[in-house]
Structure 1
Amino acid sequence: MTRADLVQDDGRVDRLWTGATWSEGPLWIPTTRRLRWSDIPGDRILEWDSASDTTIVHREGVEFTNGRVLDADGAVVQCSHGRRRLERELPDGSLEEIVAQWEGKRLNSPNDVAIAPDGSYWFSDPDYGIRQAHEGHLGEREYDGRFVFRWSAADGIRPVITDIVQPNGLAFSPDGSTVYVTDTAIGLDDGPGHWIRAYDVVDAGAGAENGRHFATIDDGMPDGIAVDERGRVWSSAGDGVHVFDPDATELLFLPVPEPVANLCFGGDDGTDLFITATTSLYRVRTTTRAAI
């Protein structure tokens, strides 16, 4: 496989906007043709408009939102560090709580979320938002762990992955049989974790097992990840974006001028890779699209 098989323009990285403190949680919204993301320490949500090539502040005082995804109705589901919950932004701009507790105990600080093929929400719950005042509100862990949870209206909330020290980004393979989760324990010296793990999705999408090491990121850590339609894993890192085949062979490295926090596919035809990296939003033209 050559570079041209994965990216256009030899993988040129274009900076679309700069001016944030720590950029996170990118999401392409097709109905508005905008890329939405968070400046977490700035406690605001930003949007880059593809038609005008301008960036606006969507909302301020947002309680340190992080990862987000579109649900089946087109509403934005997002993680709130400050409110310690998973929530939905309705079309009128109001917010609706999805889940904030497990077994009567508050969540830590939900970080990233993905929708499984069965329609359930899987989200990571590290404790970054209750340990760092610039990313949330200082507080205590109320349950003994930092888990990946599954939530559905029918089943409620349950932990599905409990063996990662600091679970962070997550994404499903195209057929939904594998879920990838990053461990960023090294970020606050909670352990050596700077890798991606893979799990088999079992019980008709209700659980995960057979956790194993998938890939290590040597420069920085793998924060957010995205999986494309051919099952390749695109990972953030301290030095840029690393792309792995489903067998964990590294296929491509795209250097980015700043440490990368997260990334997502979008654009009118779905082949733009948007990269949130520290102060800026970047874009790379690719030859592929998101898995699901």
Structure 2
Amino acid sequence: MNTTRRRLLGAGAAMAGGSLLASAAGAQSFPFRPNQRYPDPAVQILDPSFARYRIYSSTLEQVATGMRWAEGPAYFPEGGYLLCSDIPNNRIMKYDEKDGSFTVFREPANFANGNVRDRQGRLITCEHSVTRRLTRTERDGRITVLADSFEGKRLNAPNDVVVRSDDTIWFTDPLFGINGEWEGSRARPEQPTTNVYRIAADGTLRAVITDIVNPNGLAFSPDESKLYVVEWRGTPNRSIWSFDVAPDGSVGNKTKLIDAADQGALDGFKVDRDGNLWCGWGSNGALEPEPSMDGGRQVFGLRGKPEDLDGVMVFNPQGKPIGFIRLPERCANLAFGGPKNNRLYMTSSHSLYALHVEAHGAV
């Protein structure tokens, strides 16, 4: 793909640009039609407390498409752009707010998954297959390896990452990137557990959580006194656990904050300044126990319709669902961005969506 290709501005031209990118990527492009009425029915108020975060005259936008599995959004305010991973295509994409272009930032990208901007404006990336490491892109473009092993054994598949105000780096290390060939290459895990790690300011790597089955997304509360971590399986539903963070960086008081129940799937998430959790949401792929007839065949259908589950579920700090943003594709992760830090970017299967809200990212 020509990395200088521009995604044209305007509704009709945007669709054409998206189609070109999709064709180059080998991925399907979904026709998206923005809502013409205010308020946008895609933004659903589940509790009156969420009404304050909805902008009455803001509607959902599809700003880019053509990826195979979009993940890991990270916003860079100094440049006015967002980076996100297109994992199966082994690249990191760049969406520029100024001109609406959507171009390749890095290819190959070692099957990058989670990304974050550190406090110095540098990109930190979870390379979750083949290299299986956490890296930092320096200002001159050099790549610094922050972690690739623990206690003499290779990491599993670094997935998501967050930077605390003390410059410590926290990341999850499940098995997804080495479980198959779709998002990298199948490999044997060397770590006996799937951990959450902390990299101290001096570079020391420490496993702070070792009893979560395939930890996924993670984030801190606004005051950083709590760490939230998604557990992919083991409870048996996907859950978010809350941990108290001690001054020395250790964690304790493990408490289940959110249970996704038997249909929904938690993935990446972010926390706003009020402590609400904005969570990527969709079907977990669980099947009905009995088949039904479809076109003369017995078919095991999904428990819950993806079209009803795909989007962003918003929970208050107590774990109560208060809002839902319905999307035409499953949302894997999200990030706050824009000049005022109130534009919600959502990486969703093949596309990148955006919505202005009356909430601001906590960091």
- Give the TM-score category using the shorter length: over 0.9
Aligned to 2:338: 267
Quote the Cα distance in structure 2 between the aligned partners of 1:205 and 1:78: 25
RMSD: 1.5
Write out aligned runs for 1:272-291 (5 A): 272-291=343-362
User: Does the CA-based 8 Å contact 1:165-1:193 persist in structure 2?
Assistant: no
**C-alpha distance after superposition, 1:128-169 (max 9, x if no partner):** 111121212211111200000111242611111112101000
Q: Tell me which moved more, 98-107 or 4-13.
A: 4-13
**C-alpha distance after superposition, 1:184-236 (max 9, x if no partner):** 22xxxx7733111111111x151111111111224431110100001111111
Q: Which residue type is aligned with residue 262 of structure 1?
A: N
| 1:193 maps to which of 229, 237, 258 | 237
User: Does the CA-based 8 Å contact 2:77-2:338 persist in structure 1?
Assistant: yes
Aligned to 1:257: 328
Which one has a bigger Cα radius of gyration? 2
Write out aligned runs for 1:126-145 (5 A): 126-145=174-193
Aligned to 1:107: 155
Residue 93 of structure 1: how far off its partner (Å): 2.1
**C-alpha distance after superposition, 1:233-256 (max 9, x if no partner):** 111110211111111111111111
Quote the Cα distance in structure 2 between the aligned partners of 1:74 and 1:253: 31
User: Does the CA-based 8 Å contact 1:66-1:112 persist in structure 2?
Assistant: yes
The DSSP-based 3-state class of the residue aligned with 2:182 is: helix
| 2:260 maps to which of 213, 217, 221 | 217
Aligned to 1:65: 112
Q: Which residue type is aligned with residue 341 of structure 2?
A: G
Q: Which residue type is aligned with residue 92 of structure 2?
A: I
Quote the Cα distance in structure 1 between the aligned partners of 2:123 and 2:201: 16
Write out aligned runs for 1:150-161 (5 A): 150-154=198-202, 156-161=204-209
Q: Which residue type is aligned with residue 215 of structure 1?
A: I
Write out aligned runs for 1:48-87 (5 A): 48-82=95-129, 83-87=131-135
Residue 2 of structure 1: how far off its partner (Å): 4.4
Paired-residue identity, %: 38
1:167 paired with 2:209, answer: no
Greater share of strand residues, 1 or 2? 1
Quote the Cα distance in structure 1 between the aligned partners of 2:347 and 2:248: 30
Residue 3 of structure 1: how far off its partner (Å): 4.1
User: Does the CA-based 8 Å contact 1:9-1:285 persist in structure 2?
Assistant: no
Ranges of 4+ aligned residues in structure 1 off by more than 3 Å:
1-4
The DSSP-based 3-state class of the residue aligned with 1:28 is: strand
1:31 paired with 2:78, answer: yes
Aligned to 1:240: 311
> What count of residue pairs does the alignment treat as equivalent?
287
The DSSP-based 3-state class of the residue aligned with 1:213 is: strand
Q: Which residue type is aligned with residue 29 of structure 1?
A: F
User: Does the CA-based 8 Å contact 1:117-1:205 persist in structure 2?
Assistant: no
User: Does the CA-based 8 Å contact 1:227-1:233 persist in structure 2?
Assistant: yes
Q: Give the TM-score normalised by structure 2.
A: 0.76
Gapped runs of 5+ residues in structure 1? none
